[in-house]
Structure 1
């Protein structure tokens, strides 16, 4: 209802400025051109007789009500006119960019952007299992050596022929992966600590590492599937790409329009 009142007041305000007659029976109430434009906002065809007549009655009623309120003089019309003008500008800008961006950012444009920037959607992954012996910054060197000895013992058992998953379940201090025989699943490059990621992506399938340390502690790892390159599918990225392209296109069009209007930002001066 507030929007309807604003719309009615906006039209009435225009008539008050340009007309010398009273606004109690506003000329625009029966203006066919304005009414047909109003029908478009409601998405009603002019040949839909029943709906057109209902909307015409409502259109004229609200216009008359708005005129009467405006003429009553209880409102600060200067503030009201400023608010109407700002609302009009906001609506004009919003509708323009809605139409412009729908036409400018197409499915083909999204496909082209994806193809041209395909490398940023590629990543490497590797399937790995590990056995972890935890350390913490408060440990002294002798304590750290005790932990390293445990890791070395686990490594020796596996190198001697014991199954990695059996040893992991028995001694690993990563409870979650230990319950799965040390399996960490597929890891994306860079998704884990740099030292761990660097190590696993240099190894080959089936290879067993010597114990090595990260911030979490000492690890013994085994590569269960070799590193692979994967590319994210366009369908999973369309929303993000569309959002990026619409923002970029909107900024460029705003700059063009402001330059065309001669506008200069005071911050730039």
Structure 2
């Protein structure tokens, strides 16, 4: 697959040059959340080019996440077309109110249900709650959509990737009330040390993105420090959240090593040890890429 379904907005203020390849990792890992359907960079790269570059530095697979019907279909097709890709499919919490306003939320959820039955679709995501971008008028649709996605993850026996922005308490309350899927991942974890402990106690995975390297993200580093090793995942959320020292430039799975090296240093453990643990965690959460 090579066709993109959208371009990342650029107002001309960003440096859109691709960062240089980092030093390869000593143990192969996976990027457990990215959006490769979005075109970015001064020279947009195809799915195959992105995956080849990632593999060259030890990132041998990705979980490609959808956020609406179109990107979820794209994600499922990408996973079916390349053995280095698994898919997550969902209606993003910021998209759910629009579908609901048009009377199409049930229809959209029906498409997600159908996609989730495909063998290489291994997660429902990204779903959850977002109180930053959606106003009071859209919250009912967000809650309805989130609970429907939880039910789909359970129905299909696959993982769930949560989008949680300014909604920590509400997300945790919903999961406790309706019951979380067996494998629940907080994509781009944004909480603090206390929330990390709560998530770990509940058996959730915490996925750390490039923003853990940001100067103003001490809360994420504190959360990382108390997260059990067997609950740590890594992601890019590409093309967003590019790690320091490339912040603001296009992100891609090949930059996972930058974030992992930072995380290993923060944790005071060997890079090879962290890579091996994160790789094992990814396969536990999503299953084998070879299946």
Q: Which TM-score tier does this pair reach, normalised by the shorter chain? A: under 0.3
Q: With the length of structure 2 as denominator, give the TM-score of the two structures.
A: 0.17
Q: With the length of structure 1 as denominator, give the TM-score of the two structures.
A: 0.18
Structure with greater proportional helix content: 1
